[in-house]
Structure 1
Amino acid sequence: MMTANHEPCQPEIVTLDQGAVLTLWQSALPPEWACNLFAELRDSLRWHQPQVQVFGRKHLTPRLTTWQGEPGISYRYSGLTETAEGWPEVLKPVLHQVESLTGHRFNSVLGNYYRSGADSMGYHSDDEPELGPEPWIASLSLGASRDFVFRRREGDRSQCARLVLPDNSLLLMSPQVQARFQHALPRRARVQEGRINLTFRLIHQPQNA
């Protein structure tokens, strides 16, 4: 349960460049709640390992995923379309806290379950058309700490920044992050524990949907 008097740490602000800003909160959720949330999400949500198409080839994602949100909200990425059936009760207070901290509204969340350091996410930007021209993305991390890395979309494509995202941290990415950078979660052989990442989004549905 959420405690009314919980105050997360003051956020750390990281500016990549060109107006791309990252805001990172430590202890985003009350610790007594967050410590059980990883297991509750892992055991109660419907996780699956979809087959996606990247550069014309199909392969299984190196992680498990789940798509949740307001009924009928759809999201298409890498040739895959997911449609939400409504917010599970376990996610409703999480959504409320994320919206309260960030000051932004979200109607859906893409969950990724990294079972160990062998699971990963390649470089990409969250810039699908249904996110709109200026998407704010909020990312809640639970479980094992993992590196979160960035590179520019143009020019020098080498890694230019790295954040360590620990358990119970919340990262807010400004729209310029998606427009000018790509991000990834690389494999880390030394990590044996699991990590769940909840990436909250505001999907703009077509008017005739």
Structure 2
Amino acid sequence: MYDEFIYFRKNNDSIHFELPDASVVYYPNFISDKKANQFYKLLINNTPWQQDDIKVFGKVYQQPRLTALYGEKGKSYTYSGITMQALPFTSVLKEIKSMVETVSKEAFTTVLLNLYRDGNDSNGWHSDNEKELGKNPMIASVSFGAERIFHLKHKENKGLKKSIMLQHGSLLIMKGATQEKWKHQIPKTKKTVNPRINLTFRTIK
């Protein structure tokens, strides 16, 4: 079971979770519903979504979600054996990026878009700790569309877990040692859920 009673500090519209070896801040109302609806429609209809193959324990599977990568010229991103070349930032992504950077105080170079079409689409346990991100990277995640559960678990203390419901228009920031000490996932669900778009901003060194 995921511990829903880990203490947190709430400052204005942000929730600072008190997790050992981590810095996790959640902004549930980062973008208004009206603006988030506009972003969702533009992104789902105008993004060149792709579905790559991934290799897990020697077997090749279709990735259980659709993706797209945008970023500065010449930037690429490699994860799970997949190397993606970044498309130029669109005006919509630049607008969202500016909003995220105002809050995070970080200049991001790249954003990975994920489309979870239904409850069968997921993202397994992992850390965003690829070498091109450097040590203790900041990861800023913006969600549009259906709410999905986000799980965190400590790599060493197996009993230390946390779940967060990522809602439409929200922002989740992970920084410090979070990627070194914790893993996270978006699990499958048997519930009937509408599509969800996730934008994960990163700084590639």
What letter is aligned with 1:185? I
Stretches of structure 2 lacking an aligned partner (at least 5 in a row): 1-11
Instruction: Look up the match of 1:104.
Output: 106
Aligned residues, how many? 194
State which of 9, 12, 25 in structure 1 corresponds to 2:15: 12
Contact 2:13 2:29 in 1 (8 A): no
Q: Following TM superposition, by how much is the alpha carbon of 1:130 offset from its aligned partner in structure 2, in angstroms?
A: 0.2
Deviation at 1:16, TM superposition (A): 1.6
Corresponding residue number in structure 1 for 2:7: none
In structure 2, the residue matched to 1:41 is: 43
Q: Deviation per CA, 1:91-140, whole angstroms, max 9, x where unpaired?
A: 11000000001111101001100001111110000000000012000000
Which residue of structure 1 aligns with residue 185 of structure 2?
Answer: 184
1:6 maps to which residue?
none
Q: 1:117 aligns with which of 116, 119, 128?
A: 119
Q: In the alignment, what sits opposite 1:92? A: 94
Per the alignment, residue 63 of structure 1 pairs with 65
Report the TM-score when normalising by structure 2: 0.90
Moved over 4 A (4+): none
How far does residue 29 in structure 1 lie from its aligned partner after superposition? 2.0
Amino acid at match of 1:17: P
Which shows bigger deviation, 26-35 or 105-114?
A: 26-35
Whether the aligned pair in 1 keeps the contact of 2:33 and 2:168 (CA below 8 Å) is: no
Residues 165-184 of structure 1 aligned to structure 2 (within 5 Å): 165-184=166-185
Q: Is the 8 A contact 2:16 2:25 kept in 1?
A: yes
Q: Compute the RMSD of aligned alpha carbons.
A: 1.3
Secondary structure in 1 aligned to 2:120? Answer: coil
TM-score when scaled to structure 1?
0.89
Give the conservation status (yes or no) of the 8 Å contact 1:149–1:159.
no
Q: Which runs of 5+ in 1 are unaligned?
A: 1-8, 205-209
Q: Residue 98 of structure 2: SS of its match in structure 1?
A: helix
Percent of aligned pairs sharing the same letter: 37
Q: Secondary structure at the match of 1:17?
A: coil
CA distance in 2, matches of 1:73, 1:191: 36
Q: Give the superposition deviation at 1:46.
A: 0.8
- Structure 2 counterpart of 1:51, which letter? D
Cα distance in 2, alignment partners of residues 140 and 85 from structure 1 = 19
CA distance in 1, matches of 2:114, 2:33: 21
Report the CA distance shift for 1:177/1:194 in structure 2 as closer, same or farther (over 3 A).
same
The residue that corresponds to 1:4 in the other structure is none
Asked if 1:79 is matched to 2:81, the reply is yes
